[in-house]
Each structure stands twice: as C-alpha cells, then as structure tokens.
Structure 1
C-alpha cells in the first residue's frame, strides 16, 4: 500500500476509534442529551466517511450507506427503540444486497451450517428472549434481517475473519440488547458488552470490506 494512501486513511479511522472507544467510558455519564447522542453516532459515522472516500464504485457507496444507517440507528435508538431498529433494518438489507453481490464460489459443509445457523438461529433466539410475548414477533422480524446480514457476510467472498466475524459480533451485541427484555433484565453483563461488541463489529466490517473492494479493483 502506498505510504500516502495509508496517511490519507488514518484520520478517519483514528477519529472513528477515538469516538467509538471514548463513548464506552461516557455512555452512562450525565451528559447533555444531544451531545451524548451525537457522540454515540460519531464512531460509525466516521467509518461511513472512510468507506465513501476509499471503497470504489457502487459497492463502496453501498458500504458507506450501511455505515450511515448504522450511525443513524445509534442515534435514533437513544430517542425511540423502534426508530433505531428501523434504521438498522435498512442497513441490514443493504448489507445483504452487497454481500450477495460477492458470493463465495464454494462453501464447505461447516461454512454452510454456520450460515444457516446465523440465518435461522438469530431470529429464533431473539423471539424467545422477551418476557413480554407481545414484543417477540417484532423482535424476531428485525432479527431475521440481522441474521440474514450475518449469514450473507459469512457466505460471501469478503474476508471471513474480518467482515464475517464483525457481522457475528453485531449479532451478539443485538441479542444482548434483546436479553435485557428477558433473562438478563437485571444483569450488568449486557451494559458491559453491548457497545464493545457492536462497535468492534462495525469497525471490522468496514475495514475488511474496504480492503477487499480495493484489492478487487487493483
């Protein structure tokens, strides 16, 4: 990679890391609502800028859009859970479209099993988590898109241990959110793990996808 290209990349990734990591330490602080909401969205918003600047063509625009809807979801969920979920849902649909444009030529039986488990297991687990059973169908509907995104990422030609792993971390983070509606309602574990798993997942997806797309263009 040319030295200049590396230097040009650094500011957006550094800004994302600073915003994303620092938010973990202020997420429970008593900050002004709008300021805290913008801080929360900044980590993935900077990834969207990074993708827009460095991922080529239509695929790059799709990747940037995924991150834009992720950042919008991060902020919207602070105001309304359904609005946040809607933003993430749109991002998952775009991600499925991107990943299926780059399907892996062949999958081993274990890889196929992992993809099916992500696709079907994610909404099933999500459906079972809420204590309020009236919320379960809506949670499962969202989780079906989430699982589809992760399954598509795992089955794609994108780097599995960056993009695929990032998608799995995203699934784990969201399932922990749903666990707050049921078995882990009084546990501190979701609060400790949700943000690190989510942000690391988004970071791995974006960086892995940009590297893959730039490599294909070269």
Structure 2
C-alpha cells in the first residue's frame, strides 16, 4: 500500500511539472506575440529565447527521444542568432535550423508510419511539396542577395523534406506543423528578398513558427511508435 502511494504521488508530481512547463511555454509565447503586436522590442528579446527551451523541457518531461529535444534546441539556437541583424548571424541561424530539420527528418523516418502506408498516401503529397518548393525558389531567386541564394535554396530543400515527412509519416497534426514551418520561413525569405510585407511581419513569422513547433511536438508525441507516447500511456495506467 505504501509503495503504491509513493508511486502515485511521484506520478502526480511529474504530471504537475509537465503541466507547469506547458503553461510556462504558453505564457512566454503570449508575451512574445503581444510584444511584437505592440512593438515592444524588449519583451520580444526576453521572451523569444525562452520559447524552445521551455518546449524542449516539456517534451523531455513527456519522455520524448533525444532527436526531438535536439531539433527544438537547435531551433532555439536559430532563434537567438536571428535576433542579431547581421548576415553572418542570419547564415548561422539558418544553419542551426537546418540541423534541426535533419533531426526531425531522422526522427520521422525512425518512428513514423510504416513505409507501405506512406506509399499509399505519400505520392500525391510529394508532388505537391516538390511543386511548392520549385515555385518558391524560382520566385525568390532573382530578388535574394547573390550570396544567400544557394544557402536559402539548400535550406528550403531540407525544410520541405521535413514538412513532407511530417505529413506523410507522422499524421495530420505534425503535417500542419510542417506546413506552418514552411510558411513561417517563406515569410522570412520574402523579407530578405525585399518583397512587400504584411503589417507587423515579425508577428506573423513568430505566430506561424510557434504554432509549427508546438504542432510538430504534439503530433510527434501523439504518434504511437514514438517513445514519448508509450511513456505517457504507461504512466497513466500504472496503479
């Protein structure tokens, strides 16, 4: 009886920590987005670097694999680097995000839906993503600075592969996250290309980015073959 009580108390503490981390992430996201909407730069500078560490801590508390944690922390590296308005920082930030996409790609390949199912639904999706990728690069290419054209194109390929695998192997929630990631980074690239922007462009970039990472984590942890999903099921059913 005493052992069962201690085990139940420990599980309750763990669930409270998990909920606290999720609420802290939501609060940081709200502060960041409100700051961007209000033009309060200090709020954005403080809140943005907190986002991915909090989301990574939440995922870790759910028993997420290292690849998912690494993808989020590499996203944090990109977030911090992109706070600096300089070409070297932009390239380093893009490299950090690219490494994060590689982690996502390996994660989705390792834990996603079996290949037979992917073949059944993936062909049409692949065509769509290839067309979007080719159209985007072709449209942006003439207006991008010459030294950024090849890096942006290479990054776009990795981003598109990640988004495709999220949809094809991890399901609808992660798939929407992948699409939003593509949209967020396309907004960034259109700014670099000096295209006309929406009012408060950083707000829309961060809104789609935060939603993208949140949905990728939610979709990944909801996938039955992912360790975090099994971990959550075991914890919820242990007496």
Q: If the length of structure 1 is used for normalisation, what is the TM-score?
A: 0.84
Aligned runs of 1:26-175 on 2, under 5 Å? 26-27=35-36, 28-31=39-42, 36-56=44-64, 60-79=65-84, 80-105=89-114, 106-107=117-118, 111-119=122-130, 121-122=132-133, 124-130=135-141, 131-132=143-144, 134=146, 135-156=148-169, 158=170, 160-175=171-186
Where 1:107 maps in the other structure, the secondary structure is helix
Closer, same or farther in 2 for the Cα pair 1:62/1:39, shift >3 Å? same
Q: Confirm or deny that 1:181 pairs with 2:192.
A: yes
- 8 Å contact from structure 1 (residues 126, 175) kept in 2: no
Q: For residues 66-121 of structure 1, what are the alpha-carbon distances to aligned partners after superposition, in whole Å with 9 as ceiling and x for unaligned?
A: 11011111111112211111110000011100001124231366542223432563
More helix by share: 2
Where 1:65 maps in the other structure, the secondary structure is helix
Closer, same or farther in 2 for the Cα pair 1:124/1:22, shift >3 Å? same
Gaps of at least 5 residues in structure 2 are: 1-7, 234-239
Q: CA deviation at 1:23?
A: 0.3
> Which structure has the greater CA radius of gyration?
2
Closer, same or farther in 2 for the Cα pair 1:122/1:45, shift >3 Å? farther
Q: For residues 157-181 of structure 1, what are the alpha-carbon distances to aligned partners after superposition, in whole Å with 9 as ceiling and x for unaligned?
A: x2x2221111111111101111113
- Give distance in 1, aligned partners of 2:144 and 2:179: 26
Q: If the length of structure 2 is used for normalisation, what is the TM-score?
A: 0.77
Q: For residues 111-136 of structure 1, what are the alpha-carbon distances to aligned partners after superposition, in whole Å with 9 as ceiling and x for unaligned?
A: 42223432563364045225135132
Q: For residues 173-218 of structure 1, what are the alpha-carbon distances to aligned partners after superposition, in whole Å with 9 as ceiling and x for unaligned?
A: 1011111133633542633421111101101111222233333454
Gaps of at least 5 residues in structure 1 are: none
Which piece of structure 1 moves more, 195-204 or 180-189? 180-189
- 8 Å contact from structure 1 (residues 13, 47) kept in 2: yes
Closer, same or farther in 2 for the Cα pair 1:186/1:107, shift >3 Å? closer
- 8 Å contact from structure 1 (residues 93, 149) kept in 2: yes
- 8 Å contact from structure 2 (residues 33, 44) kept in 1: no
- Give distance in 1, aligned partners of 2:123 and 2:75: 27
- 8 Å contact from structure 1 (residues 129, 181) kept in 2: no
- 8 Å contact from structure 2 (residues 166, 175) kept in 1: yes
Where 1:104 maps in the other structure, the secondary structure is coil
- Give distance in 1, aligned partners of 2:70 and 2:130: 22
Count of aligned positions = 209
